[in-house]
Structure 1
Amino acid sequence: MRRLSAVSVVTSFRSYISALMGAIAALAFAASANAGVQSLDSIQAAAEQFVRSSLPEKSPKHFITAGNLDPRLRLDQCASPLEAFSQGTGLNTGRMTIGVRCPSAAPWTIYVPVTVEAEVSVLVLRRPLARRSRVELADVEPQVRRMPGRASIFVNDVATLQGHRLKRSLPVGTALTVDMLQPDVLVRRGQQVTLIAANGSVQIRAQGQALTEGAVDERVRVQNVSSLKVVEGVVESDGVVRVGL
């Protein structure tokens, strides 16, 4: 075996030391560069906490996840606690955008995508239903699912279905949400209705013809068939409209 000369050993040792010192210098530079940079994890955590704090105290289990931020992002370390806020929309949906800002002397703002899922008991369609169908007890079954959005948007009580129809056709397996339902139309355009006007113990009834349609508690326009006067009232029940005197 060939022996290394003293010169070769010294040269190799110096090269090793030089490479080691270069690596240490690079690490020191990176640490120095990142010392005044706000961590992306802290920004994501602020966005998640904001959404979590907006949930009711006694709510089903929610899963809140902030989206990834560009790893090249370099924001100055904030000297004050981060502030999160919403744009006023999307808080009931599965996807939203939350703003996170630094309120210190060198302010900055960034917007973080956040997804929300809920583990809920929800009524699921056992068969496809057409638009404007009533949803009967036999049409649904309860299931526990992990769903996008807040728990409050899902229907889990069959009583909620009473007096409502579907806004649109839905396939089998659909988890019902409140925005899929609409109240039954109790007064239709052209329908003969009973007008009721009350003042204390005095109640007056008259016959009218509906000019617009509406569900319970909605306002409709009706023409009195005797006086031909057009009045506006509130749908009280099927074919009954209450008006003011």
Structure 2
Amino acid sequence: MTLRPLLALLCLSQAALAQSLPPPAQPARQDAAALRQSVEQFLQVQTAGLPGQVTVKVGAIDPRLQLNACAAPEAFLMPGARAWGRTTVGLRCTAPTPWTIYIQATVSVRAGYVASAVPLAQGQAIEASQLAILQGDLTTLPAGIATDMAQVVGRSTTASLPPGTPMRLDTLRGKTVVAQGQLVRLVSAGAGFSVSAEARALGNATEGQVVQVRTAGGQQVNGVAKAGGLVEVAF
């Protein structure tokens, strides 16, 4: 047999052998539904201590992503992010093939919050009858909204508010414990001595604020307002 027919026969044999071999195995692909479920479970754990009814909605994953299967993908939040409102959750895989993706999600927290039931004037001491509990998604409201009337009653607003305004804790002043013109008990104590005298407040003050008072002898003194009409003075 000449060389050319021999080479042709060899090529045909190799082609037949290649056709008889099974194709190389493709790596298993990651199920997108399983990833979305991992994100949902992660956010449910993160929001377990929140009040009211928490709802988690996980966004779609780009179907063009071809991720290798991961036995234990790890969910995480970016620095500064939290499980509140619109957020982004990361998913990372370390083995067998490392990859990281980011998935959009929305966390809604429907609960009661405190709002003004009537117009409130600036500086007005707030009573329970002037408040109402409304229902809404707390994640769409400003930060620091009161969720319990006890957080608001007795305090005063820093601005006039119309009815239906959510009560923000950072816009409320503390309860007035000393009122202008009120007779107060001026107290001071130190090593080996204690002094108590009656005085009249020259201004309003919440607990812990400095207030000026006038003693019976006409002396003006600054002290720290305390509950029960007390003013502490350090000598």
Output the TM-score relative to the length of structure 2: 0.55
Distance 1:111 1:177, change over 3 A: farther
Residue 42 of structure 2 corresponds to residue 52 of structure 1: no
**Deviations 1:46-78, CA, capped at 9 Å, x for gaps:** 45224333x15xx43233334556666666554
Shift of 1:34: 8.5
Residues 115 and 164 in structure 2, CA contact (< 8 A), matched pair in contact too: yes
Q: Letter of the aligned partner of 2:54 in structure 1?
A: H
Q: 2: distance between equivalents of 1:72 and 1:243?
A: 72
Percentage of pairs with the same residue: 21
Out of 159, 165, 169, the residue aligned to residue 156 of structure 2 is: 165
1:104 matched to which residue of 2? Answer: 94
Residue 129 of structure 2 corresponds to residue 138 of structure 1: yes
Distance 1:187 1:99, change over 3 A: farther
Shift of 1:221: 8.3
Shift of 1:43: 5.4
Residues 40 and 56 in structure 2, CA contact (< 8 A), matched pair in contact too: no
Shift of 1:165: 1.0
What is the Cα-based RMSD across aligned positions, in Å?
Answer: 5.0
Larger Rg: 2
Q: 1: distance between equivalents of 2:189 and 2:230?
A: 13
Out of 77, 82, 85, the residue aligned to residue 74 of structure 2 is: 82
**Deviations 1:189-232, CA, capped at 9 Å, x for gaps:** 9x99865223599522479999x98631x354879999x9x98x
Unaligned runs of 5+ in 1: 1-31
Shift of 1:104: 1.7
Q: 2: distance between equivalents of 1:208 and 1:71?
A: 76
Q: Letter of the aligned partner of 2:102 in structure 1?
A: I
Residues 50 and 84 in structure 1, CA contact (< 8 A), matched pair in contact too: no
Q: 1: distance between equivalents of 2:166 and 2:234?
A: 41
Unaligned runs of 5+ in 2: 1-25
SS in 2 for 1:155: coil
Q: 2: distance between equivalents of 1:89 and 1:198?
A: 48
Q: 2: distance between equivalents of 1:187 and 1:126?
A: 27
Distance 1:239 1:175, change over 3 A: same
Q: Letter of the aligned partner of 1:63 in structure 2?
A: T
SS in 2 for 1:45: helix
Out of 57, 61, 73, the residue aligned to residue 65 of structure 1 is: 57
Aligned residues: 201
2:119 matched to which residue of 1? Answer: 128
Residues 39 and 89 in structure 2, CA contact (< 8 A), matched pair in contact too: no
Shift of 1:183: 0.9
Output the TM-score relative to the length of structure 1: 0.54
